[in-house]
Structure 1
């Protein structure tokens, strides 16, 4: 899976985290691993321009998704090729997200991960215009995000334990020549 991130926002953001959460969500949604995704991080003015141009709504927003191919989870079974070439584009506005993160009481990184999952789900055809759609999409979004965050916590803990073990074994002389 190819995921490209272009940060034009002027803000310092972990592109590795965005790629990780996007890759996780895409894999969990059974999208073919050959799919490609583009992510662009923009400033408030650029997002406001896109929001007016594509949604006819004033002011900036947090995330917009632009699907490239008609998709269903798992790809199209009637397609002669295995999976789509280009999933689409997700546009994030870190400055807008920072305000939302502060109001929600969590970090900008958490908010951007949530918005990335939200954007991926939109690319896969999920919407929240109707109450039933909103319930389904947000439950799935929250579930995917929680699972990704837990896997990251586990990986960090395992890395800490491995580092501790390495230091302890080194002090005990297990690595002496």
Structure 2
């Protein structure tokens, strides 16, 4: 998977945390058997920046832990017809994740686990949203949360 990670925190994110983000997303992409040319981005930011995004896009005037913006929402778009070989070569853009490093620290402390565990959890949670999973209905929540737990446990980020 082609992954771009942006650190907008003025270096509050360690090199190990940046590596964790990349590694766990590659691991999760393999679990979901995504195409090698799948692409996405992750932006790590502070509470004030994510608060602005949350207000602008969700109408919620407070900081949040993770925002997921899927690139290819299913809807009423007119499909583009192209040669199947060409279509197979085009990368599939999942979308963009935005994560508050401040919320990572706050929630890790509150929940009594490591910041790595909380960061990994938020990254995987957002990644699953980009891949069409949600937790609006109880059955969907069970499915998403079980997959999330499996990915984190198999990667080695247990509670």
Same fold (TM over 0.5): yes
Structure 2: gaps of 5 or more residues: 75-82
Match of 1:42 in 2: 45
Are 2:5 and 1:5 aligned?
Answer: yes
Q: Which moved more, 1:129-138 or 1:89-98?
A: 129-138
Q: CA deviation at 1:9?
A: 2.0
Higher relative contact order (CA 8 A, sep 6+): 2
Higher strand share: 2
Match of 1:59 in 2: 62
- What do the CA deviations read for 1:67-96 (whole angstroms, capped 9, x no partner)? 11258xxxxxxx922374312111110101
Task: Name the count of aligned residue pairs.
Answer: 143
Q: CA deviation at 1:145?
A: 0.7
The residue matched to 1:18 in structure 2 has which SS? helix
The 5 A counterparts of 1:49-128 are 49-70=52-73, 80=84, 81-82=87-88, 84-128=91-135
In the superposition, the TM-score normalised over structure 2's length comes to 0.83
- RMSD, aligned CA: 1.7
* Higher Cα radius of gyration: 1
In the superposition, the TM-score normalised over structure 1's length comes to 0.75
Moved over 6 A (4+): none
